[in-house]
Amino acid sequence: MTEETPGFDEKPDVPSGATSDDAEPKAAPEEGAAPAGDANESAGLVAQLDQVRTALNERTLDLQRLQAEYQNYRRRVDRDRVAVREIAIANLLTELLPVLDDIGRAREHGELVGGFKSVAESLETVAAKMGLQQFGKEGEPFDPTIHEALMHSYAPDVTETTCVAILQPGYRIGERTIRPARVAVAEPQPGAQTVKAEGADEDAAADDKENGGPEEG
């Protein structure tokens, strides 16, 4: 009985279900080539980053717009507060003007004496601290924006419409007039300018005559 020696052409046992291709070793991936899954993930991250940047820019613009609106609101509130305060002060001082007129008349007639003088001066000081200013003087040019003419006349010694008497002083707070000065005005006499011009011409002619007449060219 002879022993059989396995030949070289016999193949090793292969597990059931496996193919010959599985048995062969797979080639290693090329160096530097990124897997497809990583590329898709990177693209998704870039898209998300762009969306976040866009949203951040929009929120930044919204914040800047809100800040600008708030600053405008604060300025408007401050301006309205000042305006309301000025109106309230002007209304209060307007009610006090008749009292100040009485004090002024009493001072002109020498009746501002004793305790009444002290109270009157204190009231005038408080009114001045609140911004009340008196205006209107004799001899100043008539300005219809701050003067109210109650009397009118002609005078030979004025060259323009002039306040010749202050019947009631005017009052203002800052640039705001709360009562115009009530005045009597005088205008130059009709023909006074013509007479003055003729007199000037006669004086000039007399001077030329005394100097031997005008020089000939």
Q: What is the pLDDT along the chain (217 residues), one digit of tens a residue?
A: 445 555 445 555 555 554 445 545 555 555 555 566 677 788 878 888 888 999 999 999 999 999 999 999 999 999 999 889 888 999 999 999 999 999 999 999 999 888 889 999 999 999 999 999 999 999 999 999 999 999 999 998 899 999 999 999 999 998 889 999 999 999 998 865 555 555 555 665 556 555 554 444 3
Q: What are phi and psi of 36, to 5 degrees?
A: -65, -35
Domains and CATH numbers, the chain: 132-210 (2.30.22.10)
Cα dihedral: 120, 126, 130, 136 (round 10): 30
pLDDT score at 1: 46
- The rounded distance, in Å, linking the Cα atoms of 191 and 73 is 61
Edge to edge, what strands does the sheet with 132-135 contain? 132-135, 170-173, 176-179
E strands, 136-180, are 147-155, 162-168, 170-173, 176-179
- The rounded distance, in Å, linking the Cα atoms of 159 and 150 is 20
pLDDT score at 167: 93
Kindly report whether the global pTM for this prediction surpasses the value 0.75: no
pLDDT score at 47: 84
The residues that bridge with 141 in the sheet, in sequence order, are: 162
Cα dihedral: 17, 21, 27, 28 (round 10): -10
pLDDT score at 216: 44
- The rounded distance, in Å, linking the Cα atoms of 208 and 205 is 5
pLDDT score at 138: 93
pLDDT score at 68: 92
pLDDT score at 199: 53
Task: Provide the 3-class DSSP secondary structure of residue 211.
Answer: coil
- The rounded distance, in Å, linking the Cα atoms of 198 and 190 is 14
pLDDT score at 48: 87
